[in-house]
């Protein structure tokens, strides 16, 4: 494995550093590294591998589609992209229009262009987003991202974005008026450490946008497609946005992103306003359809909710000086530590055969495949005290 990591370091730009593990294969919720060591995967490719690894439904769908028609570009229609758009609209209420992309960042770029066009047509000059929010690293998406450390080195940006404290409904109300084009908001701050807002916050965002005419754009890149126990996280508060962006778990490991706008906002773009060579790729669309069908047929929404509760209960039962609390919903959780010990705990977990993610200095993200079993969840929480002990010795 060390040889592969050295080759990675030589061949790639240094923006990722050198990852600590070289993965070679996976099956279900388990992966093996290049040296043959087994791990329980509680990261799922950053909430992407919703059906785990090597799932027969995705293998069958992708194999069949790539042997039939692998690419068309946007110059032609293919059936899988149409079926996927129709399926998503059915889950969301039906009155929207879809744009398919390759990633979450590109889905947010599409939403940003929609917001800008809406703003220019209606005399609206700025956008509101959340402090510590994350919407991507391309220049448009980065302009919406409220994490100063990754945003400021690449400014200034051509978009007027005002940032408000996440979860503060009064601050949001004060920031949004009739000159605001859109509010971009995650239902939980994923990259900030799986930080949920107070109950009712998403409904409050909906109310503020209704009162002012600003577009409500929900970034559900990480939170949707069953991750929190419902198809979409906004459904927990019945606060449907004007625009929603999706990606990650929808493709089950294949690259895909989606921007969906509802009502009149779905026809804001005119011909030529936006495009993507690979958006709507039939192989990725086939994989996404297999993911949606499997989640539905196998009851994985209920599994995410139930096994997520098992994870939370196991973490709450641990009494350790390094562990503060847990937070999150469904199979999207964070173990919150009492200090900046997350890198050490991540390393100790890896040594013990568990892959988790130090998403913040004091928080570990746990976002496993939606097929995770209660037994697998308990195997992690049963080992976590020893993992914390080992991390405490090292840190």
Q: Is 19 exposed, middle or buried (0-12, 13-18, 19+ CB in 10 A)?
A: exposed
Q: Is 10 annotated as a binding residue?
A: no
**326, 247, 232: which is closest to 279 by C-alpha?**
247
Beta bridge partners of 244: 218, 260
Q: Is 72 exposed, middle or buried (0-12, 13-18, 19+ CB in 10 A)?
A: middle
List 33, 41, 99, 134, catalytic entry: 134
SS3 297: helix
Q: Is 103 annotated as a binding residue?
A: no
Distance CA 82, CA 237 (A): 29
List 33, 219, 242, 362, catalytic entry: 219
Whether 219 sits among the annotated catalytic residues: the reply is: yes
Distance CA 386, CA 381 (A): 10
Distance CA 255, CA 292 (A): 15
Angle between the N-to-C axes of helices 56-68 and 282-297, in degrees from 0 to 180, rounded to the nearest 10: 150
Q: Is 105 annotated as a binding residue?
A: yes
Is-contact 388 348, C-beta < 8 A? Answer: yes
Q: Is 222 annotated as a binding residue?
A: yes
Is-contact 321 389, C-beta < 8 A? Answer: no
List 99, 248, 354, 384, catalytic entry: 248
Count Cβ neighbours within 10 Å for each residue of 76-97 and write b for 16 or more, e otherwise.
eebebbebbbebbbeebeeebb
Distance CA 215, CA 120 (A): 13
Q: Is 235 annotated as a binding residue?
A: no
Whether 248 sits among the annotated catalytic residues: the reply is: yes
Q: Is 12 annotated as a binding residue?
A: no
Is-contact 216 182, C-beta < 8 A? Answer: yes
Q: Is 297 annotated as a binding residue?
A: no
Q: CB neighbours of 254 closer than 8 A, spacing ≥ 6?
A: 58, 62, 283, 284, 287, 288
Q: Is 220 annotated as a binding residue?
A: yes
Q: Is 65 annotated as a binding residue?
A: no
Beta bridge partners of 164: 130
180-185 and 161-164 beta bridge pairing: unpaired
Is-contact 261 114, C-beta < 8 A? Answer: yes
User: Using alpha carbons only, how large is the chain's radius of gyration in Å?
Assistant: 21
Q: Is 219 annotated as a binding residue?
A: yes
The annotated binding site for N(2)-acetyl-L-ornithine is made up of 137, 276
The annotated binding site is made up of 104-105, 134, 137, 219-222, 276-277
Would you name the residues annotated as active-site residues? 134, 219, 248
The annotated binding site for pyridoxal 5'-phosphate is made up of 104-105, 134, 219-222, 277
């Amino acid at each position: 494995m060390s040889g592969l990591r050295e080759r990675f370091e030589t061949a790639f730009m240094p923006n990722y550093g050198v990852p600590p593990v070289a993965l070679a294969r996976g099956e279900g919720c388990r992966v093996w590294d290049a040296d043959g060591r087994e791990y329980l995967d509680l990261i799922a490719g950053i909430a992407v591998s919703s059906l785990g690894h090597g799932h027969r439904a995705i293998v069958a769908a992708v194999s069949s589609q790539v042997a039939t028609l692998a690419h068309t570009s946007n110059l032609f229609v293919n059936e899988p992209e149409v079926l996927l758009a129709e399926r998503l609209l059915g889950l969301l209420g039906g009155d929207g229009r879809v744009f398919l992309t390759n990633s979450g960042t590109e889905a947010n770029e599409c939403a940003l262009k929609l917001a800008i066009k809406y703003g220019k047509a209606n005399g609206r000059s700025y956008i509101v987003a959340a402090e510590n929010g994350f919407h991507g690293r391309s220049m448009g998406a980065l302009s919406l991202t409220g994490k100063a450390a990754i945003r400021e080195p690449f400014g200034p940006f051509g978009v007027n974005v005002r940032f408000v404290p996440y979860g503060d409904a009064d601050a949001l109300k004060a920031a949004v008026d009739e000159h605001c084009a859109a509010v971009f908001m995650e239902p939980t701050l994923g990259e900030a450490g799986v930080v949920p807002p107070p109950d009712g916050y998403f409904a409050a965002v909906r109310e503020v946008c209704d009162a002012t005419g600003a577009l409500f754009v929900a970034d559900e890149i990480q939170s949707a497609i069953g991750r929190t126990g419902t198809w979409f996280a906004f459904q927990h508060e019945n606060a449907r946005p004007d625009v929603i962006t999706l990606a990650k778990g929808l493709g089950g490991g294949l690259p895909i992103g989606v921007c969906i706008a509802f009502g009149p906002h779905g026809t804001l773009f005119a011909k030529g306003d936006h495009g993507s060579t690979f958006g709507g790729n039939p192989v990725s669309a086939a994989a996404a359809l297999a993911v949606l069908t499997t989640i539905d047929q196998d009851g994985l929404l209920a599994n995410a909710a139930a096994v997520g509760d098992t994870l939370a209960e196991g973490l709450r039962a641990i009494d350790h000086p390094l562990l503060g609390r847990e937070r999150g919903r469904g199979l999207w959780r964070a173990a919150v530590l009492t200090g900046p010990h997350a890198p050490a705990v991540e390393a100790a977990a890896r040594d013990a055969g568990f892959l988790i993610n130090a998403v913040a200095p004091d928080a570990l993200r746990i976002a496993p495949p939606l097929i995770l079993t209660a037994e697998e969840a308990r195997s992690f929480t049963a080992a976590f005290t020893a993992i914390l002990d080992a991390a405490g010795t090292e840190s």
